[in-house]
Structure 1
Amino acid sequence: MDANAFQSLHTTVLWAVFAVAAIFGALAQRTHFCTMGALSDLVNMGDSTRLRMWVMAIGVAMVGFHVLAGLGVIDASKTIYFGGRIIWASALVGGALFGFGMVLGSGCGSKTLVRLGGGSLKALVVFFVMGFAAYATLRGITAVLRDRTVDRVAFEMRPGSTLPAWLAQQLGWPAETALLVVGCGVGLALMAWAAASADFRRSADAWLGGVGVGLTVVAMWAVSGWLGFVPEHPETLEPVFVATQSGRMEALTFTAPLAYTIDWLIYFSDANKVLTLGVVSVLGVVAGSAAWALATRSFRWEGFAGTRDTALHIVGALCMGVGGVTAMGCTIGQGLSGVSTLSLTSVLALLGIVAGALAGFRFQIWLLERD
């Protein structure tokens, strides 16, 4: 592949990423797909419909990822979630901090982008504060703290941190067999649990949100790992995944990409700052959400109710930025994209997020009781 063909592919990949992210944004706006909302519905009202929609999305993404990997369309070992080092302390602590923050900030990173597309100025503040905190935790003062504390607590898991890879080694199965049997088996079980509720089965939005969002994750794996994979870069002559920040296969995630989006906006005139999958995903979600909100006349400007509301959202955004980078992902990056690979680190991060969210709900109740 020559340099011109490589640049053309780079552009094609970015447009494909934008389209998938825009669909995600429109779906999330249409169906109110939200991890915090799903947990809130269950805790406060005993309604599991949105939780089942979220689990359905995980199941669909998991089956799709492992079918693609099992058939050799993508290489499961080339994701950012496959490495053999299990940073369990980072996953649990960072996940808990993120979960607590998303309750105070009225939603996770993806929900912030969806709300921003719908006209929320509160979400705009959360976007910039969360992006700033994420950048600091990637390269700044909290990055030093993260590196010197929780990131040093880990253990090794060979040949990789995913369940199919581990079982293939333990049972002597071919890698492709383990991917298809284990990945599809767990994914189908999750889908069956989600569909077991009569309330879920009667809800068109639940089906649309669960299956639709899950398929956007699968589509992003295909775009990054198949369409965007070049066996030989025209300059370095090494394999490359086009337009990725990490140099590995990526899917939807919304913590570090907020930081990279702010960085790209600030240094726009710098020729070295090019668009990446993460940055275009952020722009696509906002565009898709805005398009749906405007088309359905549900676009509404929204501001803060007062000083405490502002303070809680700023603190929540700071917690999400620090926690999301520490845990290597958010409710979408770890809770959906990561878990779809059956990565142990992703599962631990998801458990931390849920625990942090439950603590956040208790904190909100305490504030109400104090008032």
Structure 2
Amino acid sequence: MQDIDINALNTQVLWAAFALATLFGVIAQRSHFCTMGAVSDIVNMGDWSRMRMWAMAAGVVMLGFNGMVALGWVEASKTAYAAPRLLWLSSIVGGLMFGFGMVLASGCGSKTLVRIGAGNLKSVAVFFVMGVAAFATMKGITAVLRVETLEKVAVNLATGQDLPSLLAAPLGLAKTQAAAWLGGLIGGGLLVWAVWKPEGRSLDALLGGLGCGLAVAGIWWVSGKLGHVAEDPNTLQEVFVGSVNRERIEGMSFVAPIAYSLDWLMFFSDKSKVLTIAIVNTLGVIVGAGAWALVSKSFRWEGFRGVEDTANHLVGAIFMGVGGVVALGCTVGQGLSGLSTLSVGSFIALASIMGGAVLALRFQIWRVERSA
């Protein structure tokens, strides 16, 4: 067995992840890539431009991930999204909470980081409140409630919950072949739909869709291929260097990673608190968005408009922190990374997030009309 310098590889993995996250931040700030904004544009104006951008990004990640599966570089079963236990109720409840919360908080987890980089102090408050709520839902008081209620409702499958695992045998294909075909059909279909209308072929749409999609797909490669060690010389076990859970491939996500980032900052002197892909992704998006905001002269300080605005953002942050953990991800975690694995749970969570966002937008419209 070839000797591997785990520490050197870990450094390489973290820098590569940071670079991709910084790129994501730059592109998201430049192109206004935002899932909540995409849903809001449709509900309020009937404008599908940003949704086509988002669909393009989802298609790119799906093609990238399943292409890597076909090449034998990664496996869906080694991600957090394709477990045999389908937590369908958690996906629905958590997704609805997250979707509703991201509207109240003016953006999802990734948009919160982008807005921090651009000088938005409201998003700084959302960052801290969402991180605390997420950590409590992973290990604290709401974690107990989550485990004792929602997670008791599940479907136990004979295979992983990703479509290639479920459909490989009925289709008479190997899982890698099923991933290639299904990922190609669904991902390719998303790309075709994205560019079908002229608004999907604009510079911003192409930049945001292709750029953000490639950055998220790149994180899968960094964690699953670059950081993969078949046999750790210290433990003699397979590991994915740089991942929070070294037994799993790390995808880009922004709820639990914000909680991990707060934990790392607060307990920095504790040598057991080390940098991971999740943490450098969080930092990278802020740095990238901030860099572009400064270069483009769009950086500006922005605070709360009043008590109601403050309350909306704080409540939204709590909903996102709790809902994102319950649903196992956010609009990037479940919506791009999870969806690319073709996980049934990710499809359910994404639909619920979108539904929650529509409910919140309708609620806001009702409040405006009522006050008028």
Same fold (TM over 0.5): yes
Q: In structure 2, what is the Cα distance between the partners aligned to 1:174 and 1:75? A: 13
When the two structures are aligned, how many residues end up with a matched partner?
370
One-letter amino acid matched to 2:134: A
Q: Does the alignment pair 1:224 with 2:237? A: no
Q: Does the alignment pair 1:139 with 2:144? A: no
2:5 is paired with a residue whose SS is helix
Partner of 2:192: 192
Q: In structure 2, what is the Cα distance between the partners aligned to 1:318 and 1:178? A: 39
Q: In structure 1, what is the Cα distance between the partners aligned to 2:231 and 2:336? A: 30
Q: Higher mean Cα deviation, 3-12 or 315-324?
A: 3-12
Partner of 2:303: 303
1:249 is paired with a residue whose SS is coil
1:300 is paired with a residue whose SS is coil
Partner of 2:211: 212
| Aligned 8 A contact 2:76 2:162 in 1 | no
| Aligned 8 A contact 1:95 1:349 in 2 | yes
Q: Does the alignment pair 1:278 with 2:278? A: yes
Partner of 1:61: 61
Q: In structure 2, what is the Cα distance between the partners aligned to 1:192 and 1:166? A: 26
Q: In structure 2, what is the Cα distance between the partners aligned to 1:216 and 1:257? A: 17
| Aligned 8 A contact 1:2 1:234 in 2 | no
Q: Alpha-carbon deviation of 1:232?
A: 1.1
Partner of 2:174: 174
Q: Alpha-carbon deviation of 1:2?
A: 8.8
Q: In structure 2, what is the Cα distance between the partners aligned to 1:246 and 1:231? A: 15
Q: How does 1:72-151 map to 2 (within 5 A)?
A: 72-151=72-151
Q: Which runs of 4+ in 1 moved over 3 A?
A: 1-4
Q: Alpha-carbon deviation of 1:207?
A: 0.6
Q: Higher mean Cα deviation, 168-177 or 80-89?
A: 168-177
Q: In structure 1, what is the Cα distance between the partners aligned to 2:254 and 2:128? A: 13
Q: In structure 1, what is the Cα distance between the partners aligned to 2:2 and 2:274? A: 19
Q: Alpha-carbon deviation of 1:156?
A: 1.7
Q: Alpha-carbon deviation of 1:3?
A: 8.7
One-letter amino acid matched to 1:305: R
Q: Alpha-carbon deviation of 1:370?
A: 3.2
Q: In structure 2, what is the Cα distance between the partners aligned to 1:83 and 1:216? A: 24
Q: In structure 1, what is the Cα distance between the partners aligned to 2:161 and 2:237? A: 25
| Aligned 8 A contact 2:4 2:233 in 1 | no
One-letter amino acid matched to 1:86: L
| Aligned 8 A contact 1:24 1:288 in 2 | yes
Partner of 1:49: 49
| Aligned 8 A contact 2:199 2:205 in 1 | no
2:215 is paired with a residue whose SS is helix
Normalised TM-score (structure 2): 0.98
- Write out per-residue CA displacement over residues 41-99 of structure 1, whole angstroms, 9 at most, x where no aligned residue: 11111110100100111011001111111011222321111111110000000000000
| Aligned 8 A contact 1:117 1:289 in 2 | yes
Q: Alpha-carbon deviation of 1:4?
A: 7.5
1:304 is paired with a residue whose SS is coil
Partner of 1:341: 341
Q: Alpha-carbon deviation of 1:174?
A: 1.4
Partner of 1:241: 240
Q: In structure 1, what is the Cα distance between the partners aligned to 2:252 and 2:283? A: 12
One-letter amino acid matched to 1:332: V
| Aligned 8 A contact 2:28 2:289 in 1 | yes
Q: Which runs of no fewer than 5 residues in structure 2 stay unpaired?
A: none
Q: What's the RMSD between the two structures over aligned residues?
A: 1.2
- Write out per-residue CA displacement over residues 141-200 of structure 1, whole angstroms, 9 at most, x where no aligned residue: 100111111111110223210111111022221122111111111100111011111222
Q: In structure 2, what is the Cα distance between the partners aligned to 1:166 and 1:157? A: 9
One-letter amino acid matched to 2:230: P
Q: Which runs of no fewer than 5 residues in structure 1 stay unpaired?
A: none
2:363 is paired with a residue whose SS is helix
Normalised TM-score (structure 1): 0.98
Q: In structure 1, what is the Cα distance between the partners aligned to 2:235 and 2:177? A: 34
One-letter amino acid matched to 1:107: G
